[in-house]
Chains A and B, each alone.
Chain A
Amino acid sequence: MQERLDALLTSARAELAVAADDAALEQWRVTHLGRRSELTGLLRSVGSLPREERREAGQAANAARRELEEALETRQTELRRGADGAQLDVTMPGYPVRLGSLHPLTRTLREIRRVLAPLGFRAVSGPEVEWDRYNFELLNIPADHPARDMWDTFHIDDKARPGELLLRTHTSPVQARVMEQIQPPVRVIVPGKVYRYEDRDASHEAEFMQVEGLAIDKHITMADLRGTLTYFVRAMFGPDRELRIRASYFPFTEPSAEAEMSCHACNGDGCPVCGGTGWIEILGSGMVHPKVLADVGYDPDVYQGFAFGMGVERIAMLKYGVTDIRSFYRNDLRFLRQLR
C-alpha cells in the first residue's frame, strides 16, 4: 500500500510541476483526485483490507490526498504569479465596461417628479406648439395686454390662421388643458420644453425646460403652497434649507409669490452662488387666479388652489454647479459623463 502511494505521489508531483495553465490543472485534478482516480480507488479499497491494516492504510491514503490537494493549491498560486513570481498588479485599470448615461436634465426632472409624487402630483405633458388661446388667453393674458411683454414669443408662420400658433412660452397652458378635461381634485406637475424669443447667453436660453405644478381642490390654501415649496426645496437641496416668499405678479395667479431658498452653497452666509445675498430665487408661484378657474369651467367660489413653475436648468445648475445654461444643449460627452 505505502509503495503504491509513494509511486503515485511521485508521478503526480512530476505531472503537477509541468501543468502550466488552468486547463492542465483541472485535468491533473481529475486524474489524481477525481472520482475515478487511483487514489480514490485506493481509499475505497481500504475497507476490504484486514482489520489490523485498515487504520494505518486509511491514514496513509488520507495523508496522500491532503498532500496532493495542498500541492495543487500551491501550484495554482504559483501560476497566478508571473514567471518571476510577481503578484498581479491590482492597480491596473479595469477593462472598459461602461454604461451610457442619462442627461442631467432628465435626471433632474426625474428627481423633481420623485420628490413631488408622494404629495400626489402626477406628471402630465402637453403640446410644445400651442394655440395662443392656451398659452395666453386662458391664463388671463388677453391679446394686447402689457403682461404679454413678460414672454417674448416665437410665432409659427401659419398662413391659414396667422398669429394663432406659437411655441409655448411656459408649461402653464397644460394647466388649462388638464382642468378643461377633468373635475377637481387636480394635482399635476407638467415637465417640458418651453421657448422664448431671446438671445442666448450664459444665463438665458431660447429653449429650456420648465416644471409646472398645479393643485386644485376646495380647501387648498397659500399656506399649502408655502408648505409644498418648503418640502420641495428641502427634499431637493437638503433639510437645512429655508424658504421665503415675497409678493409678485403673474397674470394667472392672485396672490402671487416669488420664492427664494437659503443658499445651499454657503448656508445663507453669502457667496458667489447666491450673489452674496444668502438667498437664491428658485421659482414663481401663487394662488390660481379666479378668472383662470372660471374660464375652464370651475366655480371659483367653490374651488381654489395653487400653481408654481420653475426652470429645470436652473435647478440642475444649482445642483451640479453648472455656470452656463447652454452647456445642457451642447451635449459634449465630457459634460454628460461628468454629470452622469
Chain B
Amino acid sequence: MRVPFEWLCELTGIEASVDDVATRLTNAGFEVGAIHRAGEHWDRIVVGEVVRIDPHPNADRLNLPTVNTGSEEIQVVCGAWNFEAGDRIAFAPAGARLWDPYADEPVLKELKPTRIRGVVSRGMLCSTKELGISDDHEGILVLDSGAPLGRPLAEALGGEVLEFELKANRPDALSVLGIAREAAALYGTQVRSPIPDDRAGEHGPSQPVQLQIDDPALCARYSAALVHDVKVGESPAWMRDRLEQAGVRPITTIVDATNYVMLELGQPLHAFDWETVRGGFIGVRTARPGERLVTLDGQDRELTPETLCIVDAEGPVALAGVMGGLDTEVTDTTATVLLESATFDPVSIRRTAHRLNLRSEASRRFEKGLPPELTVLALRRCVQLIEEIGAGRGEILTADAYPEPSDPAPVALAFDRIERLMGVAYDRGEVRQALSSLEFGLDEVCDELRVTSPFWRRDVTAPADVVEEVARLVGYERIPDTLPTGQVMDLAPGEIDERDDEARDVMAGLGFAECVTYALTSEARMARLVPPDLLDAPPDSPLGDEDAWATVRESAMDGAGRALADRLLPLDREPLRLRNPLSMEENVLRLTGLGTMLETLRANRRHADRDLLLFDFQPSFLARDGDLPEEPNFLTAVIGERVSAGRWNETGTVELPFVRGVVDELLARSGLPADEASHDDLQHPTFASGASAAVAYRGRLLAAYGEVDAEVAEAFDLDERSWALLVDMPAVREASAGPPSFSAWSEYPSALRDLAIVVDAEVSQAEVNDAILRAGRPLLQSARLFDEYRGEQIPPGKRSLAYALSYAAPDRTLTDKQADRAHNRVVRALQHRLGAELRG
C-alpha cells in the first residue's frame, strides 16, 4: 500500500524525517519496501503562473501561454487546453530534464528550445506523465492556487510516498489512518482522526431506503446514505494529488470521494445511481439460478449460486465487494447517489474475486475481514468530503442494517505470561503504556490485565497476540540472547538416515559429482527413456495418454527388466500430474531422475569436459491409492567419460566392469557384501541389451546398470556412449546386514597358485567363481579374477579366465604338497563340472 508521507504526518502530527518513520514502522512490523520521492529526478521544474494565453498564428490546435516563473516571463508553445490564465502550473524551462513520455523505457531527456510551426518555445507546461507521477497524459498538471510561485515543484507537491509491504493479518493497516495509529503510538503523538462527529440529527433520512440482509454470516452490516444534488465532475487538485500519490487514478468527484475514504479509513464504499435502483430496495443475498449481471467492465456474467450479490427489487445490481453493475453506475447525469458501506464475509468475497479473477483494492480489504463498526464512520466521512468538494448534499446515515452486533470478549493476560514467553521482563507501567497507546482498553485485576481491543483490532484474540503488541511497541531490541536449556529429545520420528550422507560420500569418493535436480519434469522427457519405435506418440509431444506407457509394458521385457520397469525405472506407472503446471516442460513429478540426468550429461558434454561422472540422490514419486505417494530416494548416476589416473592424457574407456565396480563398492559400503548380490542380464528398453545388468538380492531388484540404449542416447542428443546406474537405496538398506562383522584370518603364510582355464563362452564367470570357491573349501581363502581372454589361441566359442588363488590353514603353515592337493581339487572340479580345460 502507498501512503503519502504528508498525509501520514497530517493525521499524526509527527515531525520526524521520512527515513526515521520508515525505519521505526518497519521494525514494528509494518515493512516499508520502498520510499518513493516525487521529483527525485526533477531538475529546475518549478511552479509557474500562466500570465496570458495567446493564439498560435499558424496552428489552431496549439496556443501560446506566457508563464511567469517568479523571476521572468517565458512564452512557450502548448498543445493542451485544460488551463486558464491565472492558473499555477508545473513549468519546465529549456535546460530542465523530463521523462520522455513516448519512450518505451523510462528515460530522462533534456528539454531544448524548439521552433514549433514558426514560433520558438522556450519551455514546457508539464503533464503528470512527463513528470513521472502518473500515466495520465491528458492535459497539463494544474496546481493549487496556493502553490508557491517559482519554487521547485517537488516542494509544492510534497513528495515522499511510503510503500508498505503489508501482512495478511492487519486489515486495519490497509489505510492511512491505520498506519497513522501505529506511527502515533511509536512516536507518542495523538492520532488526529479525520472522521467527523455524528451529525445524524442535522441531516435525517429524506426517504425510506429498505435494506434486507438474507444471511448475516455473509453480510454482517450494511449501511447506506443518500447524496442529493450530485455534481459529477473533476475533483479538486489536492484530492487528485493524494489519490495519485496513493496509486489510485482520479475519475470523477463521487468515485474519487469513495476511493479517498477507502484509502484513508480502509472501508471500501460503492456508489449507486439511486434512480436506476428499482423499488427503493437494497438486498444482500447469494445469486439465484439463472441470474445474470452486466458488470462495470461491460461483461455479461452468469452468476453462480455462491456469488454474493447486491440486488434491488428486481435482481442483481452489483457483485458484493467485488464489482458494481453497469446499469446502476454513477454517470454525468446522476442526480442522487446511494453510498453503500458494508461488511461482507471475507471468504465469500475472496472466492468470488478469485473465481472471476477480479481482485481489486476493495476486494483485498474485504478479504482480510473488516470491522462492522467502520461502515457508518466511513459513510460520515464520505458525505463530509462530498460536501466539501461541492459534489452534492448528503445525508449522514439513511439506513443501517446490523442484524447481529458482535462484541468481542476481552483477553485476559497474566502479567507474568509476558516474561514467560519473551524471556525478558517488562514492567507493568510499560505494558500499560504500550497497549493504551494503541488504544486498547485496559482493566487491571490483581496480576491480570483484561485487554479490550479497539474495534479495528479484531486480530487480537489471545494472550500471545497481546504479548506481541507489547513486545513490538517496546521494540525487539529489548530481547536478549539466551540459549535453550532443559532436556534434549532423544529420537525423532522421520529422522534423516545418516547412511544417505554416507552414500553421497561414497559416490563422491568414487569420482562422481553430485547434482541436485528438479523433481518436476515432463512426460515427454521420461518418454525419451524408451526408444521411439516402441512408442505410439512421437517423443516430443507430451504424452497425455496412457498408450505410450502401455506400449512399453508390452515390449520385450522379462524378469529383471519387468521388475525394473515396475519401480526403479517405472515406465508402466502413471506419474503424479500437476493441476497448475508452470509449463508443459514440468507438468509431472518424476518417476525417475534418469531423464533429467541424461540431459545434465548432455549439457555438460557441450563444454567438453572429459571427466563426466554425475550422480543425483533425490526422491522419485510413486503414487499410492488413498495415501501420499511413496518418495523413495533412488540414486541415479550417469557416466560419459572418465580420465584414468596414470598419465596426463589418458581417457579411460568406460566398460561394463567399471560400472559394476562402482555398484560393488556402493553396495559394500551400504552393508551389502558384493558377493551376496547376483548380477544378471537385463532386458529393458532403456538399456543396451548385452551391455547391461540387474542386481538382485534374494529375488529383490536392488540396482540396474549398463550402457544406455543407442536410440535412447540419441533421443537425448548424446552421440557418444553413455552409461547409467540406478540404485534403489531403500531396498539396499533393507537388504543390508548392518555394520560389518569381523572375521579372523590365518596368521600363517598363504600359498599362492594361479589358475588359467578355458571354458565355453556361455559359462558365466559367476559360475566359475562359485565352483572354485566350493571346491577349494576349506583351505581356499580367496579367488581373484585377473584376466579374461578370447582370441587366436583360444578355440571359437570359448574363453579363457585366469584367477589368482590363495590357500591357507588357520593353525599351521601349509606344505607345498597340501596346497597342491587343495588346488588340484579345484582344477578337477572345474574340469568335471564345467568342462574346463587347463590352459598353458
Contact = CB atoms under 8 A, between A and B. Distances in A.
Interface string A113-154: 000000110111111111100000000000111110110001
Most buried by B among A119, A123, A224: A224
A231 B28 CA distance: 24
Contact of A150 (B168, B491, B577, B619): B168
A85 interface: no
Given A247-B28, A247-B476, A187 B484 contact: yes
A228 B483 contact: yes
A224 B604 contact: no
Contact of B629 (A123, A129, A147, A334): A129
Interface in B573-589: 576-582, 586, 589
A340 B367 CA distance: 48
A246 interface: yes
Nearest to B367: A146
Given A231-B483, A336-B513, A122 B582 contact: no
Given A247-B468, A329-B516, A119 B29 contact: no
A100 B615 CA distance: 10
A227 B483 contact: yes
A147 B471 contact: no
B746 interface: no
Interface string B490-507: 011111100001001101
Interface in B657-715: none
Interface string B156-170: 000000000001111
Chain B CB within 10 A, most for which of A98, A195, A248, A255: A255
Given A127-B631, A128-B519, A102 B168 contact: no
A275 B553 CA distance: 56
Contact of A206 (B421, B424, B485, B582): B582
Contact of A130 (B346, B492, B628, B648): B628
Contacts, number: 278
B422 A106 contact: no
Given A101-B514, A206-B582, A110 B480 contact: no
Interface stretch (B390-398, B606-614, B774-782): B606-614
B492 A99 contact: no
B646 A95 contact: yes
B576 A122 contact: no
B169 A124 contact: no
B476 A182 contact: no
A222 B479 contact: yes
B365 to A, nearest CB: 10
Contacts of B368: 146
Interface residues of A, number: 100
A188 interface: yes
Contacts of B485: 219
B541 interface: no
A82 interface: no
Contacts of B346: 144, 146
B635 to A, nearest CB: 13
B603 A185 contact: no
A23 interface: no
A36 interface: no
Given A127-B628, A223-B424, A185 B518 contact: no
Interface stretch (B137-145, B310-318, B459-467, B800-808): B459-467
Contact of B493 (A124, A223, A255): A124
Contact of A331 (B468, B516, B519): B516
B483 A147 contact: no
Contacts of A66: none
B488 interface: yes
A106 B514 CA distance: 9
B420 interface: yes
Nearest to A193: B519
Contacts of A110: 501
Nearest to B615: A100
Interface in A53-109: 93, 95-103, 105-106
Contacts of B118: none
A249 B167 contact: yes
Nearest to A243: B481
Contacts of B484: 119-120, 187, 215, 217, 220, 224, 227-228
A144 B368 CA distance: 10
A156 B515 contact: no
Contact of B464 (A156, A254, A257): A254
A273 B501 CA distance: 32
Interface stretch (A8-16, A26-34, A38-46, A173-181): A173-181
Interface string A220-260: 11111011101100000000000111111101001111100
B795 to A, nearest CB: 37
Interface of A: 93, 95-103, 105-106, 110, 119-120, 122-131, 143-147, 149-150, 154-158, 160, 165, 167, 174, 177-178, 181-182, 184-188, 191, 193, 195, 197, 199, 206-207, 209, 215, 217-224, 226-228, 230-231, 243-249, 251, 254-258, 287, 289-291, 304, 328-334, 336-337, 340
Given A230-B481, A247-B29, 8 more contacts: A96-B643, A98-B511, A103-B514, A130-B628, A186-B492, A188-B489, A199-B582, A249-B167
12 contacts: A122-B495, A124-B494, A128-B619, A154-B578, A185-B487, A186-B492, A215-B484, A221-B482, A331-B513, A333-B612, A336-B515, A337-B513
Interface of B: 26-29, 31, 167-170, 346-347, 350-351, 364, 367-368, 420-424, 462-465, 467-468, 471-472, 476-477, 479-489, 491-496, 501, 504-505, 507-520, 576-582, 586, 589, 600, 603-604, 607, 609, 611-615, 618-619, 621, 626, 628-629, 631, 643-648
What 10 pairs between A and B have smallest CB-CB spacing?
A221-B423, A223-B423, A247-B29, A249-B167, A255-B468, A120-B488, A247-B472, A227-B481, A331-B515, A100-B508
